[in-house]
Amino acid sequence: MPRPTTATTPTARIVAELRRRIETGELRPGDRVPSTRAITVEWGVAMATATKALTALREAGLVRAVRGIGTVVADHPDRTGRTEGADRPRPRAATIAVPPVHPPRTDAELTRERVVSAAVAIADERGLAAVSMRQIAAELGVAAMTLYRHVPGKEDLLAAMADSAFAEQPIPSHERVGWRARLEISARLQWRMYREHPWLAQVMSMTRPLPTMRGMAHVEWAMAEFTGLSPQVMVHIAVTMLNYVRGTAVNIAAEFEAERATGISSEEWIQAQDETMDLILRNGHFPMYAAALSDPEVEMDLDSLFGFGLDCLLDGIALLLPPTG
């Protein structure tokens, strides 16, 4: 793929930046490149755009998919036509990854915030199943039993992790923006949390809700401009909004685990099913699917599904409001 001279589209800008990192040696052969989820967070684009960027890099021979790892820099990523090594930094010698050695911490240095932060980092990188007192202790360089002085147990830890995620998306300072804008702002802030922390959807529950002060503050702010509704309707609106965002975000958590385990993104998996799907659609029994899949203007991913569903949900809530004089 020719190197773009002017990266005007989001896809082109992402491709240009990742190509630069590869060609300068910032990303070396075998290094993992940002996943589709990481790209959406770093560049603020939709999952489909992130997938297009990685596909373009793969088609250019710059990266390749490795099962169980993800997308990595190809062994010989130079496709610019230059003489090997002419003006490119020489690859650095391979190094053996050595686990970090943590200096012993005294109990006075260990805080609840440190414990929670370490747990969040482990969950972000390896999933919620990897979070344990032993693993957190290893990351912090302390004895596992020391942690219980700061977090009594796993449920308390999970609540603190969720509260920490809400803290990253502070409540806006808007005084009055209207009930619909408040609900949408709140929902999109939560969606961003789930995007940045895929494990969060597994922690949040509608039947056994964890008490999180910052989460409750988000809901309180979102519902502040409703008037004329009974407490019954109000609480159902609040929980329905939470459940909608969390219910859609469960797919983010599942995809994170699947991609981490296989090294194959959902888009790559879908592409591998193209031949089978074509065979199914040839019989003419599914005209709606055939029309949608053949239309180049149709683009659907979790972000578009979330946005479409949110608009429909807000339209429905509007019907519950008393008429204004």
| H, E, C per residue of 58-84 | HHCCCEEEECCCEEEECCCCCCCCCCC
String of b and e for 201-217 (b: at least 16 CB within 10 Å)?
A: bbbbeeeeebebebbee
The whole-angstrom separation of Cα 212 and Cα 167 is 10
Which residues does 51 contact at the CB level (< 8 Å), separation at least 6? 36, 265, 267, 268
Instruction: Give the residue extent of every domain in the chain.
Output: 10-73, 112-151, 179-318
Tell me what pLDDT residue 76 has: 65
Most confident of 40-44, 107-111, 146-150, 272-276: 146-150
Share of the chain above pLDDT 90, in %: 34
The whole-angstrom separation of Cα 173 and Cα 195 is 23
Packed helices 213-222 and 231-262: angle between N→C axes, nearest 10 degrees: 130
Tell me what pLDDT residue 97 has: 42
Tell me what pLDDT residue 108 has: 53
Q: Under DSSP, is residue 93 helix (H, G, I), strand (E, B) or coil?
A: coil
Q: Do domains 112-151 and 179-318 have the same CATH topology?
A: no
Instruction: Assign 267 a pLDDT band (cuts: 50, 70, 90).
Output: confident
Contact 57, 93 (CB under 8 A): no
Which tens digits make up the pLDDT trace of 158-214?
A: 999 999 999 988 888 767 889 999 999 999 999 999 999 999 999 998 888 887 889
Contact 136, 119 (CB under 8 A): yes
Kindly write down the DSSP assignment for every residue of 124-166, as one continuous string. HHH-GGG--HHHHHHHHTS-HHHHTTT--SHHHHHHHHHHHHH
Most confident of 30-39, 41-50, 142-151, 288-297: 142-151
**Gap between the terminal Cα atoms of the chain:** 61
Tell me what pLDDT residue 274 has: 76
The CATH code that applies to domain 10-73 is 1.10.10.10
Output helix, strand, coil percentages for the chain, rounded to the nearest 5: 55, 5, 40
Tell me what pLDDT residue 78 has: 47
Tell me what pLDDT residue 71 has: 80
In the predicted model, what is the mean pLDDT of the chain? 81
Instruction: Assign 104 a pLDDT band (cuts: 50, 70, 90).
Output: very low
Which tens digits make up the pLDDT trace of 75-102?
A: 864 444 343 333 434 344 333 344 444 4
Instruction: Assign 260 a pLDDT band (cuts: 50, 70, 90).
Output: confident
Centre a 10 Å sphere on the Cβ of residue 172 and count the other Cβ atoms it contains.
Answer: 13
Superfamily of domain 112-151, CATH level 4: Homeodomain-like (1.10.10.60)
Kindly write down the DSSP assignment for every residue of 240-287, as one continuous string. HHHHHHHHHHHHHHHHHHHHHHHS--HHHHHHHTHHHHHHHHTTSS-H
Which tens digits make up the pLDDT trace of 129-139?
A: 899 999 999 98
The CATH code that applies to domain 179-318 is 1.10.357.10
